[in-house]
Chain A
Amino acid sequence: MTKVNIDDFLKKDSEWLKGTGPNSDIVMSSRVRLARNLDKLAFSHWADKKQQESIMNAVFDAARSVNYLKDALFIRLKDLNEVDRIFLVERHLMSPEHTKDVEFKALIVDPKEIVSIMVNEEDHLRIQVLQSGFNLMEAWRIVDSLDTELSKKLWFAYSAKWGYLTACPTNTGTGLRGSVMLHLPSLVFTAQIGKILQATAKLGLNIRGLYGEGTEASGNLFQVSNQVSLGRTEEDMIDNIERIINQIIAREETTRRTISTKNREALVDRVWRAYGTLKSAHIITSNETIALLSAIRLGVDLGIVKNLDRRMVNELLILTQPSHLQKLEGKILNANERDMKRAALIRERLT
Chain B
Amino acid sequence: MNCDICGKKEATVHLTEIVNEQMTKLNLCEDCAREKGAQMEEHFGLSELLSGLTDMGTAVEPEVAITTKCSNCGLTYQNFRKIGRLGCSECYEAFKKELSPLLKRIHGADRHIGKVSLRGGKTIKDTRTLQDLKVQLEKAIQMEEFEEAAKLRDKIRDFEKKAKAKEE
Chain B residue nearest in CB terms to A230: B107
**Given A40-B90, A144-B115, A168-B84, A160 and B120 contact (CB-CB distance below 8 Å):** yes
**Given A37-B89, A151-B119, A174 and B114 contact (CB-CB distance below 8 Å):** yes
DSSP class of B's interface residues: helix, strand, loop or mixed? Answer: loop
Complex Cα–Cα for A157 and B119 (A): 10
> Looking at the complex, which one of B73, B88, B106 makes contact with A170 (CB distance below 8 Å)?
B106
Provide the residues of chain A in CB contact with B46, threshold 8 Å. Answer: 168, 170
Q: Are B112 and A161 in contact (CB under 8 A)?
A: yes
Q: Are A158 and B119 in contact (CB under 8 A)?
A: yes
Provide the residues of chain B in CB contact with A147, threshold 8 Å. Answer: 115
Interface residues in B69-94 by Cβ distance below 8 A to A read: 72-73, 75, 83-90, 92-93
CB distance from B25 to the nearest CB of A (A): 18
Count of A interface residues, CB-CB < 8 Å = 43
Q: Are B111 and A39 in contact (CB under 8 A)?
A: no
Q: Chain B, interface size: which category? A: 35 or more
Provide the residues of chain B in CB contact with A160, threshold 8 Å. Answer: 112, 120, 123-124, 127-128
Provide the residues of chain B in CB contact with A167, threshold 8 Å. Answer: 85-86
Tell me whether A41 is interfacial, beta carbon within 8 Å: yes
Complex Cα–Cα for A229 and B111 (A): 11
Tell me whether B118 is interfacial, beta carbon within 8 Å: yes
Tell me whether B3 is interfacial, beta carbon within 8 Å: no
CB distance from A204 to the nearest CB of B (A): 8
Tell me whether A9 is interfacial, beta carbon within 8 Å: no
Q: Are B112 and A230 in contact (CB under 8 A)?
A: yes
Complex Cα–Cα for A170 and B107 (A): 8
Tell me whether A104 is interfacial, beta carbon within 8 Å: no
CB distance from B122 to the nearest CB of A (A): 11
Provide the residues of chain A in CB contact with B86, threshold 8 Å. Answer: 43, 46, 165, 167-169
Complex Cα–Cα for A122 and B30 (A): 29
Chain A positions 146 through 176: 1 when the CB is less than 8 Å from some CB of chain B, otherwise 0: 0110011001111111111101111011101
CB distance from B162 to the nearest CB of A (A): 16
Provide the residues of chain A in CB contact with B115, threshold 8 Å. Answer: 144, 147, 163-164, 174, 233-234
Chain B positions 91 through 110: 1 when the CB is less than 8 Å from some CB of chain A, otherwise 0: 01100000100110011111
Provide the residues of chain B in CB contact with A172, threshold 8 Å. Answer: 92, 103, 107, 112
Chain A residue nearest in CB terms to B105: A169
Q: Are A155 and B119 in contact (CB under 8 A)?
A: yes
Interface residues in B32-73 by Cβ distance below 8 A to A read: 37, 41, 46, 50, 72-73
Most chain B CB within 10 A, of A147, A161, A216, is at A161
Chain A contact residues, CB within 8 Å of chain B: 37, 39-43, 45-46, 122, 144, 147-148, 151-152, 155-165, 167-170, 172-174, 176, 214, 216, 228-234, 287
For the complex with contacts A46-B88, A167-B85, 5 further pairs of A-B residues with Cβ separation under 8 Å are: A46-B86, A158-B119, A163-B112, A164-B115, A230-B110
